[in-house]
């Protein structure tokens, strides 16, 4: 009986220890696909080095991620989040983000000041552009205006209203004389573009699968990480970054109310180390945020010059995003 009792006691202690370890795990919410897989690898390496477990969960979109954080505001189940800048801006007034103590993140000093924010810090800079199948598109796109080419009628997939929200109508506005405060030129041109759209995608995985399956020939608003592994000599895939270039500074943030503030800041510091930044840049086809880390060689000819990058007014765009999403859904996606 004493032996049986000892076994049961040990089993209870193990179960309790496991439950405690699971409860102490950091939870990082990011996108699915290459983002989730890469962060799972980073998390495994981090746990091996520090003993701190990190669970990576997927959001269908940053918009969906924000909705989840708002719903869990009184009892957060997420510690760290990687949104796009628009939803970062929307998360501030929603009160779901904690102020970021950069002094507690030694590697933050190597991130340019323009990439540091009050409630987050850039983890990588992602490129936006057009990606397409060379064997399915009858010409070589080089500029944003090529999306309106009649040869693409019924061959193109476009972003849904909540995918990278606001960027696509902003691009269409900028190339037609508008800006964040005047999106009318963009919406007018996007209405004229509807004949070229065969479908709309709501997430990154869906967009690349549509292209891989040959359902569409071209993705009108592409995210480079989706296609980076398909590029190279002899590939049927291509990615072009037209001028003006649009890039997405992707911050990593700490969720307000987390009981694991120190652990969260320690993980951010690890994610900003030159070694991990190189891993993220290679996997995401992105420019690293840490100035001491280098982008992979395959990206050197793709990354745009800073002079060609359009500086987005995220504060204003975030403030009107609900109306922009609604208008895009009504005017562009509905037939």
How far apart CA 50 and CA 266 sit, in angstroms, is 10
pLDDT of 71 higher than 60: yes
Task: Assess contact for 185 and 178: CB atoms under 8 A.
Answer: yes
290 in the same domain as 211: no
**164-189 pLDDT per residue, tens:** 889 999 999 999 999 999 999 999 99
**Both 137 and 206 in a single domain?**
yes
Task: For residue 225, name the pLDDT band (cuts at 50, 70, 90).
Answer: confident
Same domain, 223 and 269: no
> pTM higher than 0.95 for the full model?
no
Q: Which pLDDT score is estimated for 304?
A: 64
Residues 206, 317, single domain; the answer is yes
What is the token pair recorded at 169? 């109508």
pLDDT per residue as tens digits for the range 243-278? 999 988 999 999 999 999 999 999 999 999 999 999
* In a shared domain, residues 88 and 207: no
pLDDT at 218: 98
Asked whether residue 303 carries a pLDDT value surpassing 80, the answer given is no
Give the model's pLDDT for residue 7.
Answer: 41
- Find the domain containing 242 and state its range: 126-247+307-333
Asked whether residue 213 falls in the same domain as residue 96, the answer is no
Residue 277 lies in a domain: yes
183 within some domain: yes
C-alpha–C-alpha distance, residues 269 and 58, integer Å: 21
Query: How many other CB atoms are there within 10 angstroms of residue 99's CB atom?
Result: 11
- State the pLDDT at residue 227: 80
b/e 5-43 (16+ beta carbons within 10 angstroms → b): eeeeeeeeeeeeeeeeeeeebbbbbbbbbbbbebbeebb
What band does 108 get if pLDDT is binned at 50, 70 and 90? Answer: very high
Q: What is the pLDDT of residues 126-168, one digit of tens each?
A: 889 999 999 999 999 999 999 999 999 999 999 999 898 899 9
Domain annotation covers residue 56: yes
| 225 and 79 share one domain | no
Note whether 222 and 327 are same-domain residues: yes
What span, in angstroms and rounded, lies between the C-alpha atoms of 217 and 147?
A: 12
19 and 89 together in one domain? yes
CA distance 249 to 266: 21
What's the total number of domains in the chain?
2
* Percent of the chain clearing pLDDT 90 (strictly above): 75
Chain CA centroid to CA 262, Å: 24
Report if residue 30 sits inside a domain. yes
Confidence at 56, pLDDT banded by 50, 70, 90: very high
Is the residue at 88 inside a domain? Answer: yes
The answer to whether position 300 is within a domain reads no
Please tell me whether residues 186 and 311 are part of one structural domain.
yes
Max Cα separation, the chain?
Answer: 84
Question: Do 312 and 281 fall within a single domain?
Answer: no
Query: For residue 301, is it within any domain?
Result: no
- The CATH number assigned to the domain holding 15 equals 3.40.190.10
Look at residue 305 in the predicted model and tell me its pLDDT: 61
Q: Decide if pLDDT at 301 tops 80.
A: no
Domain match, 109 and 74 both: yes
Whether residue 109 lies inside any domain: the answer is yes
């Amino acid at each position: 009986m004493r032996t049986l009792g000892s076994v049961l006691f040990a089993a209870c202690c193990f179960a309790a220890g496991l439950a405690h370890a699971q409860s102490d795990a950091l939870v990082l919410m990011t996108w699915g696909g290459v983002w989730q897989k890469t962060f799972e690898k980073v998390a495994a390496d981090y746990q091996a080095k520090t003993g701190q477990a990190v669970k990576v969960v997927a959001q269908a979109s940053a918009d969906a991620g924000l909705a989840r954080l708002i719903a869990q505001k009184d009892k957060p189940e997420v510690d760290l989040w990687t949104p796009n800048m628009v939803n970062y801006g929307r998360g501030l007034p929603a009160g779901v983000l904690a102020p970021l103590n950069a002094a507690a993140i030694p590697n933050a000093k190597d991130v340019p000041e323009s990439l540091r924010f009050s409630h987050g810090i850039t983890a990588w800079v992602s490129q936006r552009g057009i990606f397409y199948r060379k064997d399915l598109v009858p010409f070589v796109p080089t500029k944003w205006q090529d999306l309106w080419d009649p040869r693409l009628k019924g061959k193109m997939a476009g972003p849904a209203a909540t995918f990278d929200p606001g960027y696509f109508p902003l691009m269409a506005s900028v190339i037609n004389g508008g800006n964040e405060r005047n999106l009318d030129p963009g919406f007018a041109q996007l209405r004229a573009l509807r004949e070229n759209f065969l479908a709309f995608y709501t997430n990154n995985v869906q967009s690349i699968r549509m292209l891989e399956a040959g359902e569409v020939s071209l993705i009108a608003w592409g995210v480079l990480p989706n296609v980076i592994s398909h590029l190279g000599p002899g590939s049927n895939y291509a990615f072009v970054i037209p001028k003006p270039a649009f890039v997405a500074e992707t911050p990593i943030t700490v969720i307000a109310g987390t009981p694991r503030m120190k652990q969260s800041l320690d993980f951010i510091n690890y994610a900003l180390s030159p070694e991990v930044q190189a891993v993220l840049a290679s996997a995401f086809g992105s420019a690293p945020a840490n100035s001491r880390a280098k982008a992979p060689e395959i990206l050197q000819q793709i990354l745009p010059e800073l002079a060609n990058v359009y500086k987005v007014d995220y504060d204003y765009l975030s403030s009107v995003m609900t109306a922009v999403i609604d208008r895009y859904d009504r005017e562009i996606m509905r037939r």
